[in-house]
Chains A and B, each alone.
Chain A
């Protein structure tokens, strides 16, 4: 299978590294796997015979690659002209209009290309449209890394809970606010101090309101509602309260009654992001930058997953999505049994 990677930032680079480090595993599933194009906002690299991943990882800029670099080349041109089977769309998230990722996704799916993405923006803006386009063109459309990073929610529901009806999803969907609230819980500091430390540690997004006002968590609630609960939710439909108003006194009062205050996203008859009291012995009560997702279904009843929601761990979810596409749709599959 021929693969394009749009976006050569942290995730794009980590993914290329994973492709290189896990090449034996990948070739067991698809012996013809190769990355034929990589793009960023400044141009693209296109090599029909396959890009040398080791070489690519050794350079700082795509333009430093010795062959096939197209300065100021548009990603859409790369998608149109290439003979790729799969696009991994990993450009920066934009929740206002989903661009530029949304255009790349539309372009790839219209061409019959499978799509894997960790980019929330286009899914928040146009999940239904993208799903319909993927279905119409018989494309795989996988987005595990968009919600709770490395935690396999969509894969779990798709592969392991096929007969279950998911009744309710709740969870800690933003690691940064969980870090701030955990700091307040354990060190009894004020919100302002805990926030400052999160910023100093570099775990806060560029605009703190995106995290602390619950916007990031609301994006994930929107995606979960649409993808798992088959709703037609928009970001504006989510009732949202962030954590700015949480005081040290409130955290302390909660703690005395064996509760921790956590920013919880909930999808049931309501769609909500709000600070909640979580009993300290509840499986959702995880601390630090951890995320946790609690599923309630008709048959399995309750399942809780805990893991990292952002950072380098996210590549695990993107790679698994790519391997799933290779397993399901790969043309040049090896005769050896697959390991997934």
Chain B
């Protein structure tokens, strides 16, 4: 699992190396590191890391070790891989119900309703969904639209 780990390091020599040790000790594989030395704020330099840890437990231990070394943690979040999906829905549908469909971390990035000349409404939705939730999200939408007697057209 990949994590975004952003630290605030004191602007003194050797601080970066000191901060990397707990990461290595806890099985973290550093994928990228951005050390913004030119942007010190009140004597601290922000360092953004993308680290691959075997589990969330390894991240927790790393954060705890870093804190005991006096390193401030600005952010430690899992990076969720997302997939962009375009969907078209045809039929009479309750948009409120559709939007309330419960799948975590789904972001609507685009929405367009056609001016229908036929009886059926037509909606285009652009979504950003965590990659591992795509099947679940599509399943939920399909279920709702089936109940509404509408058609869901997903991309191949």
**Chain A interface (Cβ within 8 Å of chain B)?**
170, 190, 241, 245-250, 252-254, 256-257, 259, 261, 264, 266, 274-279, 282, 284
Nearest CB to that of A247 among chain B residues? B118
A250 B88 Cβ-Cβ under 8 A: yes
CA distance in complex: A274, B118 (Å): 21
Q: Is B20 interfacial (CB 8 A cutoff)?
A: no
A254 → chain B closest CB, angstroms: 6
Pick the residue among A250, A259, A276 that contacts B90 (CB under 8 A).
Answer: A250
Residues of A within 8 A of B144 (CB): none
Q: Is the interface of A mostly helix, strand, loop or mixed?
A: mixed
Given contacts A246-B151, A250-B114, A277-B88, 4 further A-B contacts (CB under 8 A): A170-B156, A245-B90, A248-B118, A275-B153
Pick the residue among B114, B118, B154, B156 that contacts A253 (CB under 8 A).
Answer: B114
B155 A249 Cβ-Cβ under 8 A: no
Pick the residue among B120, B124, B156 that contacts A247 (CB under 8 A).
Answer: B120
Q: How many A-B residue pairs have CB under 8 A?
A: 69
Given the interface contacts A253-B88, A253-B122, does A259 sit within 8 Å of B155 by beta carbon? yes
Pick the residue among A248, A256, A278 that contacts B117 (CB under 8 A).
Answer: A248
Q: Is B27 interfacial (CB 8 A cutoff)?
A: no
Residue among A252, A259, A282 with the most chain B CB within 10 A? A259
B155 A276 Cβ-Cβ under 8 A: yes
Give me the 10 closest cross-chain CB pairs, A-B, nearest first.
A249-B114, A249-B122, A277-B155, A253-B124, A245-B151, A276-B156, A250-B122, A247-B118, A250-B90, A275-B153
Please list 25 pairs of residues, one from A and one from B, whose beta carbons are closer than 8 Å in the complex, sorted by A's number: A190-B118, A245-B90, A245-B91, A246-B151, A247-B118, A249-B90, A249-B114, A249-B116, A249-B122, A250-B88, A250-B153, A253-B124, A257-B124, A261-B88, A266-B156, A275-B153, A276-B153, A276-B154, A276-B155, A276-B156, A277-B88, A277-B155, A277-B156, A278-B156, A279-B156
